[in-house]
Amino acid sequence: MNYYSLNHKAPKVSFEEAVVKGLAPDKGLYFPESITKLPDTFFQNIEKMDNVTIAYEVIQQFIGNEIPKNELKAILDDVLNFDFPIEKVEDDIYALELYHGPTMAFKDVGARFMARCLGYFNKDKKENNEVTVLVATSGDTGGAVASGFLGVDGVEVVILYPSGKVSDIQERQLTTLGQNITALEVDGVFDDCQAMVKQAFLDSDYEGKRVLTSANSINIARWLPQMFYFFIAYKALKSKNKKLVFSVPSGNYGNICAGMMAQKLGLPIHHFVTGTNANNVVPNYLETGKYVAKQSVQTISNAMDVGDPSNFIRIKELHNNNFETLRNNLSGYSYSDAETTESIENLYSKFNYIADPHGAIGYLALKAYLKDKTHTLGVFLETAHPIKFLDVMPKTIAKEIKMPPQIEAVLNKDKKRIKISNYNQLKSYLLS
Ligand SMILES: *Cc1c(COP(=O)(O)O)cnc(C)c1O
């Protein structure tokens, strides 16, 4: 499979090259050259297939012959070795829990898949072809990437995080692993970390010394495997025989965009809903037809504090850059922190369901969309375990949350990180 740049000013590349490069040389996001629907028999038989078989059928066309069948199946077997439960919350409303992986964030699947693809491509290289994954995190990305890439041969991971701006649990997930993972604590905010990473990608001084790549959802190997979630949910709910609507709490819009890709493959999804916080660029766009990027503002659903979502351009491409087509497939709603907290409280008191702030917004958006709909079944994605947001959860609910073993395991480990405060310090680290 070849990939083209959405800026249309760079050569087409293979899957491997797109994964290693991350972003095209013209700064465009990579997009697959063709998308072929899965056969009807796949959907007719899906309930008889296990998750790994489904995932293989879904992702195979995007990789072509670049990873042989047995190797790809082994990668998927390893990536998908935890559960994706779908919990009934109330009549016709389900939560798809994507947080049962090693760092309890939905990003685990994408990070693990990307890591294993890079590991596979490096294995065949005779010369030393070490790749450095450079990533800025405001919280959950760093932990998922650190855990996903831990111990992968030929890959070094450098994570930049803003000092004092990530939770204690998140910081431990980044700083306690060691081996090929290095955490850099930046004296600044997330935007400073992001700016340093961008500067590094533009700096030619690394040529011949380091191959740098990114592990954000702009990377196709992190983005595409998120399609699996929508197929897994369909498999669980197919027998209900109702129209299926997905509500996805969104920040960079990678996850929902993967759902739209699943729809392109023929998955019968009736409609998408996006829930966001005060960072409401996309709901505004759907209302006005004008895309106006904004400076991001801080909220209690901080993984969605994004003012200019990087995957939105892929969403447009999937809808032939036609506003009406997109608006018929996607509805958007935004909520304040107070409404988010109220939603968490409501889900707990009415349905005994503990949602994290992101999932609670997904639920609100879904309810808003379904208000006047019949014969429709709604699924909201629960993107992180509520334990990761203890400090912003209502206190009475916070104390009901049990400590999962994955989190307990990092609590008493020592944090190891290198403090930096400017780009030159990052550069001298990378060139040392
Ligand atoms: C990353 C993240 C999101 C947003 O996902 P996108 O793919 O960037 O839209 C939502 N919730 C949580 C908990 C996340 O970590």
Find the 249 Cα to ligand 1 centroid distance in Å. 7
Quick check: 184 and 428 in contact, CB under 8 A? no
Structure token pair of residue 177: 């692993």
Closest residue by CA, ligand 1 atom 1 = 303
Find the 303 Cα to ligand 1 centroid distance in Å. 5
Q: What is the pLDDT of residues 6-53, one digit of tens each?
A: 999 999 999 999 999 898 989 899 999 999 999 999 999 999 999 999
Q: Lowest-confidence range among 123-127, 169-173, 320-324, 400-404?
A: 123-127
Tell me how far apart the alpha carbons of residues 116 and 143 are, in angstroms, rounded to a whole number: 16
The one-character DSSP state at 374 is -
Q: Could you tell me which residue, 6 or 170, shows the higher pLDDT?
A: 6
Find the 401 Cα to ligand 1 centroid distance in Å. 21
Q: What is the pLDDT of residues 233-273, one digit of tens each?
A: 999 999 999 999 999 999 999 999 999 999 999 999 999 99
Give Cβ neighbours of residue 197 (< 8 Å, ≥ 6 apart): 134, 135, 136, 160, 214
pLDDT at 127: 61
Alpha helices in 39-180 (DSSP H): 40-44, 51-63, 69-79, 107-123, 140-149, 168-175
CATH topology (fold) of 83-104+224-402 = Rossmann fold (3.40.50)
Find the 161 Cα to ligand 1 centroid distance in Å. 17
Mutate to test the pocket of ligand 1, among 252, 276, 393 (most ligand atoms within 8 A of CB): 252
pLDDT at 401: 95
Tell me how far apart the alpha carbons of residues 3 and 29 are, in angstroms, rounded to a whole number: 9
Question: Using DSSP, how many helices (H) and how many strands (E) does the chain show?
Answer: 19, 14
Q: What is the pLDDT of residues 270-296, one digit of tens each?
A: 999 999 999 999 999 999 999 999 888
What are the residue boundaries of the structural domains of the chain, listed by start? 83-104+224-402
What is the three-class DSSP state of 418? Answer: strand
The one-character DSSP state at 163 is T
pLDDT at 319: 98
Atom of ligand 1 nearest to the CA of 249: 10
Quick check: 426 and 420 in contact, CB under 8 A? yes
Start-to-end Cα distance in the chain: 37
Atom of ligand 1 nearest to the CA of 140: 15
Q: What is the mean pLDDT of the chain?
A: 94
Ligand 1 site: residues with CB under 6 angstroms? 105, 107, 140, 217, 249-255, 303-304, 358, 383-384
Q: What is the pLDDT of residues 80-118, one digit of tens each?
A: 999 999 999 999 999 999 999 999 999 999 999 999 999
pLDDT at 396: 96
Atom of ligand 1 nearest to the CA of 139: 15
Query: Mind telling me the catalytic residues?
Result: 107
pLDDT band at 202 (very low <50, low <70, confident <90, very high): confident
pTM of the model: 0.95
Closest residue by CA, ligand 1 atom 11 = 383
